[in-house]
Amino acid sequence: MTQDTQVFVNLNLATMGESDVAYGWIEDGAIVVTGGAIDWLGPVNELPNTYKDLPHTDLGGRVVTPGLIDCHTHTVHGGDRAVEFEMRLNGASYEEVARAGGGIISTVKATRGATEDDLLAAALPRVDVFIAEGVTTIEVKSGYGLDVETELRMLRVARAIEDHRPIRVKTTFLGAHATPAEFAGRDDAYLDEVCIPALRAAHAEGLVDAVDGFCEGIAFQPAQIARVFNVAQQLGLPVKLHAEQLSNIGGAKLAAQFDALSADHIEYLDEDGVKAMAQAGTVAVILPGAYYTLRETQAPPIDLLRKHGVPMALATDLNPGTAPINSLLLTLNMGCTLFRMTPEEALRGATQNAARALGLTDVGTLAVGMRADMAVWDIKHPAELAYRIGFNPLHSRIFGGTS
Ligand code: DI6
Ligand code: FE
């Protein structure tokens, strides 16, 4: 205990920790924070005497959860795809959009043409929306550069976010997102001449926390992803994978073979893939924003994930093409309404399991020793966080012990 010890009382705790009680619920609780960590938490009538004489902060009976975590975003990118959105709604096919320069390549062009300052200036308002919804950790991917310099620039901007906003950023290298136009028809050459050298350079500069790929018929085959993941393993970096989003070519199984932190999207995941993920401890990251935007009809196999005990996370997948969704709270609602996840599964998907999907062990639940990343909500029951659409009940946000 030191002079900067804070005692919060008159609150209800949704700790999201392992518990026989839904949400890890503690009614009429208290939480003690010293520096940036949780010193004590529990029912207020069990508050240790050592804290009783300290000034108390009354939270008015509000609900306190772990700070929310968005474990899958493409927050850093140039340009937008609004015109493409309009073209499609005016009847243009994907092919016509692509021929008009739409799709990922249009974002690649805009990102390559943007400076670090441009990219940061465009990213910060998106980060501000996350912060306003009680988010304390986000993951940010590269993947719109597809050349060495721009991939590095994207990751430098992702790292720089922490210097401009009170939020924690975990970076992911996604050079294997698509093959750029200059390598059309030469996927393997792109991987050898650009993607893998960019990964090595980014790692050498300390810019990468994990490595990702897009395993899909329109992107890279499992064997190609494996080449990138082998380099990630050599560099001591964990992996994660966009898998089974539009079809099943065995991405989740490959991810599990590499003990991936997560397999993401997984609309077309089958039971063999679920079993492989369960065996490897790979988290299923559910991305309803892309499912909704693409008007996909195949939902992820939530019941199979439950049956085999695969942890489920929920994330926005914020990206300008298939998921221009900046709201993690709306994503919780979509996880419930579209995929029938329960409100508790949804909240756990943006706290405890989102932390697991990022390999983080010091956030995601409220427990002694964890970072004091917390969100204080004007709600009576934690289910309200997934229930409401377009209403943000955040009262206050505590990041590393600081409000
Ligand atoms: N899956 C997606 O839905 C996005 N990337 C990926 O791997 C698409 C990104 C874009 O359309 O800009
Ligand atoms: Fe994505």
List pLDDT tens digits, range 60-101: 999 999 999 999 999 999 999 999 999 999 998 877 887 787
Q: What DSSP letter does each residue of 246-306 carry, written as one string?
A: SS-SSHHHHHHHTT-SEEEE-TT--HHHHHHHHHHTPEEEE-HHHHHHTT------HHHHH
Say yes or no to pLDDT of 3 above 70: no
SS3 207: coil
Token code pair at residue 138 = 């986000």
Task: Find out whether 97 and 110 touch, Cβ atoms under 8 Å.
Answer: no
Answer whether 290 contacts ligand 1 (Cβ < 6 A): yes
Q: What is the pLDDT of residues 174-195, one digit of tens each?
A: 999 999 999 999 999 999 999 9
The enclosing H or E element of 6 equals strand 5-14
d(CA 269, CA 274): 7
Sort 4 into a burial class: Cβ within 10 Å, 0-12 / 13-18 / 19+.
exposed
Instruction: With cut-offs at 50, 70 and 90, classify the pLDDT of residue 1.
Output: low
Give tens-digit pLDDT for 368-386. Answer: 999 999 999 999 999 999 9
% of the chain at pLDDT higher than 90: 94
* Cα–Cα dist 278/284, whole Å: 9
Instruction: Say yes or no to pLDDT of 116 above 60.
Output: yes
Measured in Å, residue 245 CA sits from the centre of ligand 1 at: 10
- Tell whether the model's pLDDT for residue 2 goes beyond 70: no
| Amino acid, res. 82 | A
Mean pLDDT across the chain = 97
Within its chain, how far is the Cα of 116 from the centroid? 22
Task: Tell me the DSSP string of 146-158.
Answer: -SHHHHHHHHHHH
Q: Is the CB of 142 under 6 A from ligand 1?
A: no
pLDDT at 93: 80
387 lines ligand 1 (CB under 6 A): no
Average pLDDT over residues 246-271: 98
Residue 248 contacts by C-beta under 8 Å, 6 or more apart in sequence?
268, 269, 270, 273
Ligand 1 contact via 12 beta carbon (within 6 Å): no
Mean pLDDT of all residues in 229-254 = 98
pLDDT at 317: 98
What is the dihedral sign for C-alpha 296, 300, 302, 304?
A: positive
Q: Is the pLDDT of residue 234 over 80?
A: yes
Atom of ligand 1 nearest to the CA of 104: 12
Distance in angstroms (rounded) separating the CA atoms of residues 142 and 134: 24
The strand order across the sheet containing 374-377 reads 37-43, 25-34, 5-14, 56-66, 374-377, 394-398
Query: Separation of 315 CA from ligand 1 center, angstroms?
Result: 14
Instruction: Look at residue 197 in the predicted model and tell me its pLDDT.
Output: 98
pLDDT at 259: 98
The residue that leads in pLDDT, 101 or 230, is 230
Question: What angle do helix axes 116-132 and 148-164 make, rounded to 10 degrees?
Answer: 50
Q: Which ligand is nearest to the CA of 71?
A: 2
Q: How far is CA 357 from CA 167, 232, 336, in A?
A: 17, 17, 20
Write down the pLDDT at residue 95. Answer: 75
Mean pLDDT of 9-28: 97
Can you tell me the mean pLDDT for 205-227? 97
